[in-house]
Amino acid sequence: MTLYGNFNNVSLACGVHPLDFEEEPYDAERLLRLAQDPKVIAIGEIGLDYYYSADNKAAQQAVFGSQIDIANQLDKPVIIHTRSAGDDTIAMLREHHAEKCGGVIHCFTETMEFAKKRWI
């Protein structure tokens, strides 16, 4: 976060990618503190990735849900990563009311038909 200090035209997103949270333990309080910085305009890239790491689905879902909750708390949009996890991603977005904060999908491996039928 200190790298952006001299750049007034740079905005940030912060979050924990689904393939990264095991390298450093997820700390929701730390993310909340960082995300309150006015330069942070979104929470992301967050989501689920079962393609590369399907053995920790429950942990990915817990971290993803927590980050959606933080986005809602701060009224900041989410940047979603979903790979081979479409149904669970949609279920999590609905369960955690992501329609409140909105956002974009950055990585999406499902079909157009899936998007049309399942999206919020």
Complete domains list, the chain, with CATH: 13-118 (3.20.20.140)
Q: What is the pLDDT of residue 8?
A: 83
Q: Is the peptide bond before 45 cis (omega within 30 degrees of 0)?
A: yes
pLDDT at residue 19 is higher than 90: no
Rounded to the nearest integer, the mean pLDDT of the chain is: 90
Q: Are 52 and 11 in contact (CB under 8 A)?
A: no
pLDDT at residue 54 is higher than 60: yes
The closest of 84, 59, 64 to 17, measured between CA atoms, is: 64
Q: What is the pLDDT of residue 94?
A: 93
The mean pLDDT value for 48-72 works out to 94
The closest of 40, 50, 83, 44 to 64, measured between CA atoms, is: 44
The pTM score is 0.91
* Residue 120 DSSP code: -
